[in-house]
Chain A
Amino acid sequence: MKLLMIDDDTGLCELLSEYLTAQGFEIQSVHDGEQGLKLAQANDYALILLDVMLPTLDGFEVLKQLRQTKLTPVIMLTAKGEDFDRIFGLELGADDYIPKPFNHRELLARVKAITRRIEHINSLNLAATSKLLVNGITVNLAAREASIDSSTLTLTGTEYEILTLLCKNAGEVVSKEQISEEVLGRRLASFDRSIDMHVSNIRKKIAEHISGERIKTMRGTGYVFIQGE
C-alpha cells in the first residue's frame, strides 16, 4: 500500500518512512508543497500525510487544489495544533488531522483505520450491486458514491463513510462516539469537533442539490438521518 508524505522536516520523513515501511507500507516523501501536489494529482495513493507549514505551497493550499480533482484520503499534520487549523483543514476536506508532536502508535492507528476501510470497500467491490436509497439520496456502496437525482456528490472518503453510516441507520440516532470509532478508527476525545465538521461539510454538499434538512443534530448525543415519507 503506497503512501505519500509531504513534510519539509526531512529528518522526520526519514524516521517515519522507516517506521511505516517496517509496518508494511510503501512510503514516498517530498519536502515542498508544489512537488507534493503534482505527485498527488498524478498518482493514486492510498493515503497522503500532509504537513501544514510547507515551502512554496502551504498544506491548506495543496489540499484545496487536490480536492478539485481527487478524493484521496488526507491526514493533516498540524504542527501548530491550534483549533483554527484543525477546523480549517477539515473544512477543506481533510479526512483527519493529527497534531505534532504525535505518538507513532497513534499515527499508525489512524493510517490503518483509513486504509483498512479502503481495503474493505475494495473487497466488497466484487459483490457490487448493493445500493441504499433514503429520502432522495442514493448511496452506491459498490462505487463508493452518493448521488442525488443521478448527479454525484463529491464527498471525501470520510464524508462518504459517515453518510453511509447515517443512511444505513436512517431514522435512528447515531452517536458521535459510534461515528468516531467506526469511521475514524479512534475513540472520540472530549470536545472533539471533527465529526461536526465532517457532518457540516456533508450538509453543505447535499444542500447544493436538494432542499430540506436531511441530517438532524441531536444535541449532546449525535446525528439522525431523516427518513422522509
Chain B
Amino acid sequence: MSLSKGNKVSSMSWVKHPGHYLFFKIFIWFWLTIIGTVTALIFLSNITVINAVSNEPLHGPMEKNLIYTAKSIERSVVKHKRSLSNTLSHTRLSKRKLLYLSAEQPEDSLTNKDVPIDVDLSLLNFTKSMSPQIIFTEKYQAFGPIQIKVPEGNFYLYEIDINNQPPLFIRLKLMPSWMKVSIAMIASLILSFLFSRNLIAPINSLKKAAVRLSAGDLGARAAISVNRKDELGVLGRDFNSMANQLELLISSQKRLLADISHELRSPLTRLKMATGLAQMQANDASQSYLLRIEKEANQLDKMIADVLQVSRLEAKSQALSLQKQSLQIIVDHVINDAQFEAKQNNKQLNIVGAVDVNINCDEGLIASALENLLRNAIKYAHNTISITLKHADAVYIEICDDGPGVPNGQLSKLCEPFFRQSDARDRVSGGTGLGLAIAKNAIAAHDGSLVLSNKEQGGLCANITLPLIKE
C-alpha cells in the first residue's frame, strides 16, 4: 500500500517539478539543441542574400492541372483561330495565376499579365531539363515547363507563383550547404558544451571532494548549488551531509581520546603521590613493588602525554613557538642522545652530511620528531642506523635502519596512532604506539613531509623534507 502511494507521490512530482529530474534536463537540453540549431538556420537565412536557383520534380495534381491548362490553350488557339497572345489575354486565363510561355526566341515569350519589374522570368529560358518541375528562385516559384504546340511555334508553359516573402523552407533550401552545415555545427556545439558543463561540473566537484576526503581532509565538501534540485544536486547534498557526519564522528572520537587522556591525569597524579608516600614508609620487601608501580605510572603518563600531543597536533591547536635557528644544533642534540641509546643496544650510528641552515621551527617539536624516528630505527636495526643530512632547495633528512623493514601494504598505516604491525614485540620495547604519529604530525606542522619506505636490501627508511626559510 505504502509503496504504491510512494510511487504515486514521485510520479506526481515528475509532473510538478520536471527540473528536478536529470531525465528531463537531458531531454530538454537535447530539445533545445535542436530548436537552437533550427532557429539559427532561420535567422541566418533571413539575413543572407540569396541569388540561387534550385528545383525539384513536379508530380501529382499540380502537374495534371498544368497539363490541362496547356491542352486548353492549344485547343482554344486551334478552335477559335486566335493568336496565342489573344488567347492568353482572354479573361478566363488572365484571371488565373501568372502564366509564362517561353518561346525558343526569348523576345517572342509571352505572359498573360503584367509582370512586376523585379521578377526576372527570363531565368526560366535557361531551364535545362524539359520534364515538369518546380523551380525555386528568390522571387517566385515556377511550375513547368509543359510544351504547347501552336501554329506560331513551340512554347513552354510555366505557371508562376510570385512570393513577396519567400517561404522559409525555400530560403533554407537556397542557403549554401557549407553554411547549413556550419550553423548546425556551431549551434549544437555551443549548446552541447553548455549542457555537458552543466552535467559534468557537479560530478567533477563531487570527485574532487571525494579525493580530498579520502586523503584525510575532513573539511572537504562538494560545491553544489543549493538551488540545484535534480539527481546530481541531491547526490551532492547527500555527499556533503555524509562528509559532515564523518567529520563529526572522527572529530568527536579524537576529542574523546583527548578528553579521556586529560581526565586520566588527575587520578594519575594522585596515584604517583600516594606511591611516593608509601615509598617513604615501606619496608624493603614492598619497595620493589612500589618501584614497579611508579614505573608503570610513568609509562601511563608518557602515553597520555603522547596522546595529547598527537591530538593537539592533529587538531592543529598546538601553538608553535617558531624561531629562526640552525637545524644543526637541534640535530646534534638529538643525535647525541641517540648515540648513547644506540651504544647501550650495541648498535652503530653512521652520520653523513650536515644541515647547517637556518629554518623557522619549533625546536621542541622538530626534536621530538627526530627523536621518535631515531628511537624507532634503533629499536628495529640489526647493526647500523644510517643518517643522511643534506640541504638544497629544502632540508632532507634520511634515517635508515638495516632491520626487517615493514610489509609494503602497511607502510601507509605506520603513522596512524596505535598501529602495530605485530602485536607481540612493541610492548616489550616500551613504545607507546604514537611515536611515528607524533613525528609525522610535527613535521606536517612545519609544512614538511615524512615518507616511509623499504630499502631494497632490507630495512626501513624515513625521509624527512622540511622547507627552508623563504627569502
Contacts and interface: CB of A to CB of B under 8 A. Distances in A.
Interface of A: 9, 11-12, 15-16, 18-19, 22, 79-84, 87, 100-105, 190-191, 193, 219-220
A33 B298 CA distance: 29
Contacts of B268: 101
21 contacts: A12-B266, A12-B270, A12-B273, A15-B270, A15-B273, A19-B273, A19-B280, A22-B277, A79-B266, A83-B321, A83-B364, A84-B319, A101-B271, A101-B297, A102-B272, A104-B273, A104-B276, A105-B276, A190-B333, A190-B364, A190-B367
B308 A81 contact: yes
Contacts of B321: 83, 87, 193
Contacts of B297: 101
A20 B262 CA distance: 26
Interface string B313-338: 00000110100010001000100000
B195 to A, nearest CB: 55
A77 B308 CA distance: 17
Contact of B266 (A18, A100, A193): A100
Contacts of A79: 262, 265-266
Nearest to B363: A191
Nearest to B294: A103
Given A9-B266, A81-B305, A101 B272 contact: yes
Contacts of A105: 276
Interface residues of B, number: 29
From B269, B272, B297, B325, residue with most partner A Cβ within 10 Å: B269
B254 interface: no
Contacts of A104: 272-273, 275-277
Interface of B: 262, 265-266, 268-277, 280, 297-298, 301, 305, 308, 312, 318-319, 321, 325, 329, 333, 363-364, 367
B312 A102 contact: no
Contacts of B364: 83, 190-191
B333 A100 contact: no
B317 to A, nearest CB: 9
Contact of A102 (B262, B269, B277, B367): B269
B265 A101 contact: yes
Contacts of B301: 101
Contacts of B265: 79, 81, 100-101
Nearest to A80: B262
B319 A83 contact: yes
A219 B265 CA distance: 36
Nearest to A11: B270
A82 B312 CA distance: 10
Contacts of A102: 269, 272
B230 to A, nearest CB: 49
Closest 5 CB pairs of A and B: A104-B276, A101-B269, A15-B273, A191-B364, A101-B268
A79 B268 CA distance: 11
B280 A103 contact: no
Nearest to B297: A101
B353 to A, nearest CB: 21
A131 to B, nearest CB: 37
Contacts of A22: 277, 280
B270 A9 contact: yes
Centre residue among B273, B275, B298 by max chain A CB count within 10 A: B273
B274 A15 contact: yes
A228 B274 CA distance: 53
B138 to A, nearest CB: 87
Contacts of B272: 101-104
B299 to A, nearest CB: 12
A191 B320 CA distance: 13
A9 B270 CA distance: 9
Contact of A12 (B269, B275, B305, B367): B269
